[in-house]
Structure 1
C-alpha cells in the first residue's frame, strides 16, 4: 500500500513529462523508418504536376498501314480471273482471283469414285466377315482403304477450294504482281494487301520522351502530312520498341490516328508533335485521376500528404478536365505537393500514414 501511494503521488508529474515529450516529438521531424509503428498504413503518393510545364518536340514520321500481307494461292495453276486493281478497297471475303478449277474438279471426281468403291468393298467385307468367310486381315485392310480414300477425297475438295483467293480482311490493294492468264505456283505472291482500318505514324524519339511516357506523365501527340500541313490529326499511343536504334540511340514509337481519313496514305511523309504535360487550360494542376474523391453533388477533394507530420488532410478541389488517367484541378493544391493516389477512399482527416515503398 505504501508503494502504491508513492507512485500515485508522483503520477501527475510523470503524465505531464510524458505529455511534454509527445508535444515536443510532434513538433520535430517525422519519425524514422526504425521508429515507425508497423501498424501505420502505407499509401501510394503522387506528386502534383504543374499544368503549364509543357515540353514540345516535333519529329519526322512515316505513315503506315496497320499491317501488310502478301496474298498467294496454296495450289498451282493458271489464273482465269483477277480483281486486283491497285489502290482499290476490297471487303473481307471478296474474291481477289481464281485459278482454273478444271483439273481440281476432276481430282475431286476421281477421289470420290475411289471413296465410293472403298465404301462398297468395306460393306461387302463386313458382310462376309460376319459369316466367317473373310479373315481379320481382309477386314482391317478394307477399313484402312476406306479411311485413306476418305482422306484423299477431303484433300481434293480442299485443293479445289484453294483455287479461289479471297480477301482475309477489309483491305487496300497496294500492289499487283501478276496479270490474268498468268501461271502461278503455290506460294507465289500475286498481290500485297494493306489493312487501312487505321493509320499508324512511326516516329523515333529520344529516351527522355519515352521515359516520360513510361513514368505516367501525360504525353499527347498530333500529326500533319507534309503535303497538307494545315490539317491536324489527333494521335494516341500504340506501342514502342524496347531496344534503341544502334546508330541514333532513339526508340521507335507508334502512334495511331484516332479516325480513318481519306487523305491519309501509307508511305506518306508526316511530322508528329509530341507534347509532354500539355495544358489545355490556363490554370490548374494535374493529379492522377485515382486521387480524386467525391461526386458532383457533394463536391470533390484530394488527400494531401504532410511530410512534416506524416498526416493526410482533406483539400477541396474543382475538377476542370479529365485527360486519360489524369485530372486537371484547381484549389489549395500546388506543384510539388503530394497526394494519395491509391487507397484514397480509406483516408480520414489527420490520419498518420507512411509513403509506400516497393520492395527491392
Structure 2
C-alpha cells in the first residue's frame, strides 16, 4: 500500500513539473515575442515637395539692341582741299592716328604772318612799357601798344589752332564705319568726312515695362546681375556693367529705357545694330516660392517653420524661412531642398521618415 502511494506521489510530481516547465517556456516565448515586436520601428512615409531650380525662375529677359559706346562724326573745322586721306571704311584705327589732312600751305603762310605781327607788337609793347614807367610817353600811347600786342597774341593763337585743324586724328581706338570725303576734294568747314566707332566696348539698350518695376526699386534693378546674350550666340552670357535708365516711362510704350555696357568678348563679332537679349536677375520678392498650407508647422506675416527632409539620413529637421508680403518663401531654402508637405503635426524633430512621394515644381 505504501509502495503504491509512493508511485502515485512520484507521478504527480512529474506531471506538476511538466506543467510548470510548459508554462515557463510559454512565458519566455511570449516575452521574446513582445520584445521582438517592440524592437521593430515603424518608419512613417511622408509626402515631399522639392524646391525648384532657381535657373528656371530667376531671370527676366528683354529684347535689346547693340550700339557702339563711343562714336564720332569727324569733320574739319576749317575749309580746304583734302591732301591725304589715309583710311578706308571698315579699317581699324588707333587713338591719335592721322586719318586725313588738308593742304596746309595757306594756313602756314597765315601763321607766319601772324607770328611776324606778334613779334613786332611784342617789341613795341615792351618799349612802350619801359617808356611809360619812366613817364616819357602818355597813357594813350601805352594803351595803344598794349591793345595791339593783345590782338596780335590772339591772332597768333588762332593761326596755330587753324593749322592744327588741317589734320584729322582718331579720338579713340575704333573702326571707320563710314567715309564721306576723298582725296583732292574741296571740303567746307564742319562738312562730314568720316564716322568712327569704338567696338571694343558696346552699349546695349533695352526697354523695361512699367509692370516689371511695380514691386522693385530702380536701385534694386540697377544692382542686380545682368547678362547679354547675342541672338547669334545663345549659349554665351556676356557680363554687363549698368550704365543708365530713364526716370520716366515712355508714354507710347509704357516702359523705361535702360542701357548696359559690355566689353567685346573674344570670338564674337559685335556690330552696331545687332539684336540681343538682356537677362536680368529677379529680386527675392520675384523669386518667392509658394508652399501649400498643409506644410506649415507655423506661419506668421514675414516668417514660418517647415520640416526639411534629409534624403541621406532620412531624418527631418525644422527650418525657419522668410516670407514676402504674399506669403511666398524668399529665404531659408535652396534649390533641391525637400519639404514635408502633409501630416506635419504628428512628426518630431530628428524623426526618421521615408519619402512617399516627391513632387517637383511649384
After superposition, the C-alpha distances for 1:89-144 in whole angstroms (9 at most, x for unaligned) are: 22221112111111110001111111222233335545665676643322221222
- Distance in 2 between residues matched to 1:76 and 1:215, nearest whole Å: 49
Aligned residue in 2 for 1:174:
177
CA change 1:201–1:333 in 2 (3 A) is farther
Between structure 1 and structure 2, the one with the greater Rg is: 2
Question: What pairs with 1:1-360 in structure 2 (closer than 5 Å)?
Answer: 52=54, 54-125=57-128, 134-211=137-214, 212=216, 214=218, 216=220, 219-257=224-262, 259-261=264-266, 262-277=268-283, 332-336=319-323
- Distance in 2 between residues matched to 1:127 and 1:258, nearest whole Å: 62
CA change 1:134–1:266 in 2 (3 A) is same
Q: Secondary structure at the match of 1:334?
A: strand
- Distance in 2 between residues matched to 1:90 and 1:265, nearest whole Å: 16
Residue 171 of structure 1: how far off its partner (Å): 2.4
Q: Which runs of 5+ in 2 are unaligned?
A: 1-51, 290-298, 302-317, 324-328, 332-362
Q: Secondary structure at the match of 1:231?
A: coil
Which structure has the highest strand share of the two? 1
- Distance in 1 between residues matched to 2:239 and 2:330, nearest whole Å: 31
Residue 77 of structure 1: how far off its partner (Å): 1.1
Q: Secondary structure at the match of 1:265?
A: coil
Q: Secondary structure at the match of 1:178?
A: coil
Report the TM-score, using the length of structure 1 for normalisation: 0.58
Q: Secondary structure at the match of 1:75?
A: coil
- How much is the aligned-residue C-alpha RMSD, in angstroms? 3.5
Q: Is the 8 A contact 1:54 1:277 kept in 2?
A: no
Report the TM-score, using the length of structure 2 for normalisation: 0.58
Q: Is the 8 A contact 1:84 1:191 kept in 2?
A: no
Which structure has the highest helix share of the two? 2
CA change 1:237–1:51 in 2 (3 A) is farther
